[in-house]
Structure 1
Amino acid sequence: MRTIRTKLSLVGLVALGLVTAGCLVSGTFVISHDFTFTAAEGFYFYPIDVTAEPDWAKHRDDINDIDAVGFEMTMNNENPGPVTFSAYIAPYDTLPQYETKDELDSNAYIVIADLEVPSGTSTMTYAQSLGHIQNLAKFKELAITGKFSYYGVAEGITPGSFTVDPGKVILTVSASD
């Protein structure tokens, strides 16, 4: 019994020493990036850059994977009827590269397709967004760079407006030394 206790103590001390020295450190952290937009004429562009976020900057060289991506959004539809909302991502640029839904369909990656938003205020939780996300592998591929372009398209806008306020992109990131 004494031998087992001594061996377990030694294993514990070795593991503690390795962790303290930084040899076996890994973890998961969550980055969220807030945005708001008004879909002017049904179209919106926003450059997402999380590289300045403290956790991202601290672990930049150790990031292994994007485990999950999702959104939280409060959508305000001030039109008399429903609006159809779609979200796209594309490689990062500070200026919009596409100006129409047809250009997005041909060149970008749809991540939320044809979500019907009724008149009034609707909320999409993070958990709900996971059920709507498409092109997940491409989304993760772009997200692991820390930068990507986000486009929103709202169809069916009549005399009212369509806004997302607040909105949030949420990335769950794995990193290890």
Structure 2
Amino acid sequence: MLFSLGTNTMTKFELFSCAAGRTGLNPRLRKEVMQLKGAEELCDHIVQAVLRSLKEDVSGNSVESPGNGDSSQGTLDTGEGHAMEKKNSDCLDEENTCSQARILRVGVGCDVGRHRSVSLVEEATSRLKKLGINVQKPLHRDIMKNKAARSCDKKRHRKDKVRYR
């Protein structure tokens, strides 16, 4: 199952003082972003959509949600593509491994990919963890690309910087 969400329903904000040089990984910036009009609703929508999707097993039957005492477990890997895996007790073999893993990909994007979308993913991840879903560390594509570009710029700058005496 695949679904994508955009942050265009949220109010855009001017870069405020706490945003300078920061991303949605920063708790202060994340708090500011989550106070924007539409942010809470969109985050709730993400969490509810994930929970609805994880309640169905491979055969389409409904199972109890994670954390309610059942033997199923969920994994959310919010790397690029935001993959989520639900393993339920019906597909476990003798070694307690799931041969029929279910993958759910969730994409959240915004104009720059460093503030609103990152804040929403981090907040949704936090809420899902609190509900008993095993969540892996999120990776944010645009932040990773930006780090790689800055690293290349620093190396290029060092090479170009020649001192003559």
Per the TM superposition, whether the score is higher than 0.5 is: no
TM-score of the superposition, structure 2-length normalised?
A: 0.29
Relative to its length, the structure with more helix (as a share) is 2
TM-score of the superposition, structure 1-length normalised?
A: 0.28
Structure of larger gyration radius: 1
Return the structure number with greater relative CO, CA threshold 8 A, min gap 6. Answer: 1
